[in-house]
């Protein structure tokens, strides 16, 4: 069974704090993703990584950065949290296919509240 | 640019009714993949099915069936004899061959099955 785990289910932070969200997968997947999910807006891609130390911006990267030092771990960093970053954050991973694109496996999500 | 539209925001049915969730996509690529995911109230997205653009065969898995029609750019999902456990948010997603494994998700359809 593929397992994607996220460090916290619920997190409350104050405006201006630096926030780290951690994601770990145990299936040796090359691709890892960070999304935020907001009511009525579906899933929006923040950042994507296809290899260690490699990253690509998604649709809404402003205010976020990421780190991938090891293949199994992908961290999302909010440099200075703001109230509009209150959201559900979802991490996912997928296998890099040679001739196909594979389904993503999701973690349970972190509900972040910024006060 | 790729786009996925799930026009039905919310659907409510009574148990044992059949229900179809619509998904319309836009892409310029000839090679692409379509996915459906389920997000139950517990929150974790679960992969249901993947289809590539060269395979228009419909698929049935138990009470679930998928109808892929390239002519109308649609990939609809039907649940036969719905059950309360089918209550969830369902997402349709598209990965283009030129887009390195990233997916664009629709906004989701919330299905409520009442007993």
pLDDT at position A99 is 56
**E strands, chain A, in order:** 4-6, 10-13, 19-25, 31-38, 42-51, 54-57, 64-70, 73-78, 87-94, 105-106, 110-114
Question: Side-chain half-sphere of B90: how many Cα atoms within 13 Å?
Answer: 26
Q: Is the per-residue pLDDT at B79 higher than 70? A: yes
CA B1 from chain centre, in angstroms, equals 19
Q: Higher-confidence residue: B52 or B39?
A: B39
Look at A33 and B47 and tell me if their CB atoms are within 8 Å: no
Identify the residue whose tokens are 């029609």. Answer: B69
Which chain A residues have any C-beta within 8 angstroms of a chain B C-beta?
A: 31, 33, 35, 40-43, 45, 48, 50, 56, 58, 88, 90, 92, 94, 96-97, 100-109
Look at B106 and A42 and tell me if their CB atoms are within 8 Å: yes
Å from A36 to nearest chain B CA? 12
Q: Sort out which chain B residues have CB atoms less than 8 A from A97's CB and list them.
A: 101
Q: Is B62 on the interface with A (CB under 8 A)?
A: no
Note whether A14 and A81 are within 8 A (CB).
Answer: yes
pLDDT at position B1 is 72
Interstrand relation of B104-105 and B109-114 (parallel, antiparallel or unpaired):
unpaired
Q: Sort out which chain B residues have CB atoms less than 8 A from A33's CB and list them.
A: 102
Buried b (16+ CB within 10 A) or exposed e, B24-60: bbebeeeebbbbbbbbeeebebebbbbbbbeeeeeee
* Close Cβ partners of A100 (under 8 Å, ≥ 6 residues apart): B33, B52
Distance CA B96, CA B103 (A): 8
Q: Sort out which chain A residues have CB atoms less than 8 A from B102's CB and list them.
A: 33, 45, 48, 56, 58
| Residue in A104, A108, A110, A112 to test binding to B, most B beta-carbons within 10 Å | A104
* B50: three-class secondary structure by DSSP: strand
The predicted-structure confidence for A15-59, as pLDDT tens digits, reads as follows 999 999 999 999 899 999 999 999 888 899 999 998 898 999 999
Å from B44 to nearest chain A CA? 5
Order of strands across the sheet that contains A64-70? A4-6, A19-25, A73-78, A64-70
pLDDT band (50, 70, 90) for residue B97: confident
Rounded to the nearest 10 degrees, how much is the dihedral formed by the CA atoms of B22, B28, B34, B39?
-60
The predicted-structure confidence for A56-101, as pLDDT tens digits, reads as follows 999 999 999 999 999 999 999 999 999 999 999 999 999 876 656 7
Residue of B nearest to A49 (CA): B102
Distance CA A111, CA A82 (A): 14
Q: What is the sign of the dihedral through the CA atoms of A24, A28, A33 and A36?
A: negative
């Amino acid at each position: 069974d593929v397992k994607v785990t996220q460090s916290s289910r619920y997190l409350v932070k104050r405006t201006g704090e630096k926030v780290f969200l951690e994601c770990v997968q145990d299936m040796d997947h090359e691709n890892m993703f960070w999304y935020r999910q907001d009511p009525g807006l579906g899933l929006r891609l923040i950042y994507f990584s296809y290899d260690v130390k490699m990253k690509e911006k998604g649709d809404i990267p402003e205010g976020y950065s990421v780190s991938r030092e090891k293949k199994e771990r992908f961290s999302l960093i909010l440099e200075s949290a703001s109230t509009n970053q209150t959201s559900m954050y979802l991490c996912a991973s997928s296998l890099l296919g040679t001739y196909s694109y594979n389904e993503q496996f999701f973690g349970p999500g972190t509900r972040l509240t910024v006060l | 640019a790729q786009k996925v539209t799930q026009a039905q925001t919310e659907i409510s049915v009574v148990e044992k009714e059949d229900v179809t969730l619509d998904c319309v996509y836009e892409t310029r690529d000839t090679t692409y993949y379509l996915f459906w995911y389920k997000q139950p109230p517990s929150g974790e997205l679960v992969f249901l099915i993947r289809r590539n653009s060269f395979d228009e065969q419909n698929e049935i898995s138990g009470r679930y069936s998928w109808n892929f029609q390239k002519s109308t750019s649609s990939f609809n999902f039907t649940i036969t004899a719905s059950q309360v456990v089918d209550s969830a948010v369902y997402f349709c997603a598209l990965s283009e061959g030129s887009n390195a494994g990233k997916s664009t998700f629709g906004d989701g359809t919330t299905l409520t099955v009442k007993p």
